[in-house]
Amino acid sequence: MVKSKQKIATMKELSEAIGISRPTLSRFFQDQSAVRPSTSRKIRERLAEVDYVYNFIATRQNRKLSGLIGVIIPHYNDLFFTSLLEAIESAARKTGYTVITQSSDGKAKGEAQAVARLRSMSADGAIIAPLGLDSSIEAFQIAREDFPIVFADSRPAEPVDGTDFVGTDNAQSIAAVVDYLCRTGEPPAFLGMPPLNSNAVERERAYAGKMRSLGLEPRIVATGGARESWQFEAFGHGVMNDHFSHQRYTSETILCANDRIAIGAIRAANEHELFLRRGEPHSGLRIAGHDDHPLSQYMYPAVTTAAQDIEGIGQEALRLLIERIRGERMDDSVTVLREAALKIREST
Amino acid sequence: MVKSKQKIATMKELSEAIGISRPTLSRFFQDQSAVRPSTSRKIRERLAEVDYVYNFIATRQNRKLSGLIGVIIPHYNDLFFTSLLEAIESAARKTGYTVITQSSDGKAKGEAQAVARLRSMSADGAIIAPLGLDSSIEAFQIAREDFPIVFADSRPAEPVDGTDFVGTDNAQSIAAVVDYLCRTGEPPAFLGMPPLNSNAVERERAYAGKMRSLGLEPRIVATGGARESWQFEAFGHGVMNDHFSHQRYTSETILCANDRIAIGAIRAANEHELFLRRGEPHSGLRIAGHDDHPLSQYMYPAVTTAAQDIEGIGQEALRLLIERIRGERMDDSVTVLREAALKIREST
DNA sequence: CGCGATTGTTTACACGTGTAAAAAAACTGG
DNA sequence: CCAGTTTTTTTACACGTGTAAACAATCGCG
């Protein structure tokens, strides 16, 4: 059994129990070095003996800054977004900010609600991976008057004044993959992602541009009536299973807009036994992805892909946001694009 | 350009702009039906024309209940936990609670910090997927005096008074898989997960118990010096790659403690070309998992597994927590175990 | 020891909302 | 239109902390 410590609810009680004035304690909790070392030591010694958790809500009531940073992602069920989230959290930990995460649940309404919640919680700023085409620009514009916003990964269809963007340079990353694929085999066709956000548009455009610059004709894989969906694996599997069943694309090179689609496509290819084994002649089918999903290397064959610099994107987004929170920068808008690194694996 | 609405910062301003007293507005925001219908309509009409977000922090300052429920998971980078999180969020949405998620980052210290943060934010209660063996029982016990706690998925090494638990009935789920495997082929050996939490212990025990009850000798796959790690795929891959390289387990049945380990093991098997193709004689190697990870069905071969009732676990955990928050139940401790459903796929 | 500089205390008010009590106003049914 | 009921307004205080100002105590230094 644990010796239960004396429970202290308010700072006032604490100041009495410890023999120090409340305002001094208030200063101590905001910055230990703001009080005399001997006082600081005295406070910490007594603090270790009692159970006091200062009231965050009351704390933030009067400060202009709440120390809270909101992060909004479309889904928790996507390891790309959770990786981004962890990168941001880890960076925030170092700078003393607390992260409040909200999922928009893939819906514009959820996104607007998440923004409103951050506003009502007096967040100092927000890093948002927006839904994209669906996003309510108005909600962002209004929120922008309350706190700075940095978009990460993807950006809204229309620009929002005074917001920054950090993402991957899709032109560079896609070009790198296309380049590699053309150098080592047949030029790729492109299996786009459902038109959910700016990446969907940019990557398809980057593919077409790179192909033309190589003097090749871009070819887009028909996705039939597949409707918008965040279930990328099912999407990739459904589309390619249909094609393979009709003997289409069975010995070509396919570049998927992201790894989750590639995982679905690879599954379809395996069902049709299109990947051959060591020692057998190469069937010609190659499938590449984009993002370096954590499980891509465990697929069989492992997915060739472009690894986004998620760590860098998270750090940079936080850095830009904090600059704005501190009022160190009032620019209209900053865009930071990070390069992705080609990861050559077995699938190509 | 959007017509920018009149911005209203406080409820007092709002009450003046709308011609209604502030206390009445306060009542309106807590329960629309607490004011006369004509008043309610009048408020809503004016509300639509202005930009007012009520201050969550000030709101929660005086209420005994904050409407906040904390969820703590070990990692965001695990689709099992994010599925659980989404289940809880979706259930919370329906009951009007707001979810605050914290990751413990796989460390006892992070877990204690997360609990402290929830306490300082005056959360009404917490649903915690604990680290397990590492967890600081003391932090839970102290927090338990502030708000009710329900553990989900796994439970701390020592019981904590007045907390509930909702999880999967490992004895049932593991027995179902073992049963199926024995019925359809060779009895399985067990590849445990690193001893991180109660599930690690329970599943291994459930395996051994079921095997003995079938009159069979349990066999545990040696994991060598592999140290504790949440990187389950790498763990499963590393352990099995080592065995396969020495021609061990190459034509046996292996039950993995979870799907992420199975995914790693399957990758290792594929590298060694141990799974044969349709038409070829069966090699004998079978690998099963547990949890029904979202990507399990996209592996090749797709993973035979036991699907946890994550939706049910999330709902039930929230229900128990709300009961306690409302003071409807003061029991010492309740344990709810949900059954898992056998998913037979290609890997066995 | 006495000076100015630093650090601490006291006091008082602020933040934006909840809430209780009493008074006023608006409804309801007849 | 009245009495009775319900709803709203008014008034006042509460929550736990931040913060400013004036003052008191302590420190470092010569």
3-state secondary structure of A76: coil
3-state secondary structure of A68: strand
Instruction: Kindly report, residue by residue over A52-110, the tens digit of the pLDDT.
Output: 888 888 888 888 888 899 999 999 999 999 999 999 999 999 988 999 999 998 889 99
* DSSP run (H or E) holding B232: helix B232-245
Tens digit of each residue's pLDDT, chain B (348 residues)? 444 677 888 888 888 888 888 888 988 888 888 888 888 888 888 888 888 888 888 888 888 888 899 999 999 999 999 999 999 999 999 988 999 999 998 889 999 999 988 988 889 999 999 987 778 898 899 899 889 999 999 999 889 999 999 999 999 999 999 999 999 999 999 999 888 889 999 999 999 999 999 999 999 999 876 666 889 999 999 999 999 999 999 989 999 999 999 999 999 999 998 987 666 666 789 999 999 999 999 999 999 999 999 999 999 999 999 999 988 888 789 999 999 999 999 888
Give the whole-angstrom CA distance, residue B68 versus residue B334: 22
Residue A275: what pLDDT? 82
List CB contacts of B172: < 8 A, sequence separation 6 or more.
B337, B339, B340
Q: Which of A121, A145, A266 sits opposite B56 (nearest CB)?
A: A121
The answer to whether the beta carbons of residues A97 and A68 sit under 8 Å apart is yes
**Cβ atoms within 10 A of the Cβ of A197, count?**
22
Judged by a CB distance cut-off of 8 A, whether residue A346 touches chain B is no
Residue A307: strand pairing partners = A291, A341
Residue B306: strand pairing partners = B342
Chain B from 271 to 290: CB within 8 A of any A CB: 271, 273, 277-278
Q: Look at B98 and A117 and tell me if their CB atoms are within 8 Å.
A: yes
Task: Look up the pTM and report it.
Answer: 0.91
Residue B281, preceding peptide bond in cis (omega within 30° of 0): no
Give the whole-angstrom CA distance, residue A55 versus residue A72: 25
Evaluate if residue A228 carries a pLDDT over 70.
Answer: no
Residue A204: what pLDDT? 96
Residue A195: what pLDDT? 84
Is any atom of nucleic acid chain C found less than 7 Å from the CB of residue B63?
yes
**Number of CB pairs, chain A paired with chain B, less than 8 A apart:** 127
The answer to whether the beta carbons of residues B167 and B154 sit under 8 Å apart is yes
Instruction: Kindly report, residue by residue over A134-144, the tens digit of the pLDDT.
Output: 788 988 998 99
Cα separation values, B281 from B184, B255, B275, Å: 16, 22, 10
The answer to whether the beta carbons of residues A321 and A334 sit under 8 Å apart is no
Q: What is the DSSP string of A150-182?
A: EEESS--SS--TT-EEEEE-HHHHHHHHHHHHH
Question: Which token pair is A101?
Answer: 């995460």
Closest C-alpha among B24, B65, B67 to residue B46:
B24
Query: Which residue's CA is nearest to the C1' of nucleotide C16?
Result: B58
Strand D neighbours (CB under 7 Å) are A 9-12, 22-23, 26, 29-30, 36, 38, 54-55, 58-59, 61-64; B 19-24, 27, 34-36, 38-40, 61-62
Q: Which nucleotide is nearest to A35 (CA to C1')?
A: C7
Pairing of strands A125-128, A68-73: parallel
* DSSP run (H or E) holding A98: strand A98-103
Closest C-alpha among A270, A266, A271, A256 to residue A297:
A266
Q: Look at A76 and B86 and tell me if their CB atoms are within 8 Å.
A: yes
- Selection from A199-203, A221-225, B94-98 with the highest mean pLDDT: A199-203
Instruction: Kindly report, residue by residue over A236-270, the tens digit of the pLDDT.
Output: 999 999 999 999 999 899 999 999 999 999 999 99
Residue A4: what pLDDT? 61
Nucleotides of D under 7 A from a protein CB: 7-12, 14-21, 27
Give the whole-angstrom CA distance, residue A18 versus residue A230: 55
- More confidently predicted of A34 and B140: B140
Q: Which of B53, B101, B116 sits opposite A101 (nearest CB)?
A: B101
Provide the CA B12 to C1' C26 distance, Å, integer. 23
**Cβ atoms within 10 A of the Cβ of A336, count?**
17
Residue from B232, B300, B303, B310 whose CB has the most chain A CBs within 10 Å, to mutate = B300
Single-letter code of the amino acid located at B183: R
Q: What percent of chain A has pLDDT over 90?
A: 60
Evaluate if residue A186 carries a pLDDT over 60.
Answer: yes
DSSP assignment letter at B32: G
Give the whole-angstrom CA distance, residue A165 versus residue A176: 22
Instruction: Kindly report, residue by residue over A312-338, the tens digit of the pLDDT.
Output: 999 999 999 999 998 888 878 999 999
A-chain residues near B59 (CB < 8 A): 120
Residue B50: what pLDDT? 86
DSSP assignment letter at B122: T
Instruction: Kindly report, residue by residue over A282-322, the tens digit of the pLDDT.
Output: 678 999 999 999 999 999 999 999 999 999 999 999 999 99
B-chain residues near A87 (CB < 8 A): none
List CB contacts of A113: < 8 A, sequence separation 6 or more.
A104
List CB contacts of A38: < 8 A, sequence separation 6 or more.
none
Residue B1: what pLDDT? 44
Judged by a CB distance cut-off of 8 A, whether residue B9 touches chain A is no
Find the DSSP H helices in chain A: 11-18, 22-30, 37-49, 56-62, 79-95, 108-120, 137-144, 170-184, 198-213, 232-245, 259-271, 310-325
Instruction: Kindly report, residue by residue over A121-173, the tens digit of the pLDDT.
Output: 889 999 999 987 778 898 899 899 889 999 999 999 889 999 999 999 999 99
Is any atom of nucleic acid chain C found less than 7 Å from the CB of residue B150?
no
Single-letter code of the amino acid located at B179: D
Judged by a CB distance cut-off of 8 A, whether residue A55 touches chain B is yes
Residue A1: what pLDDT? 43
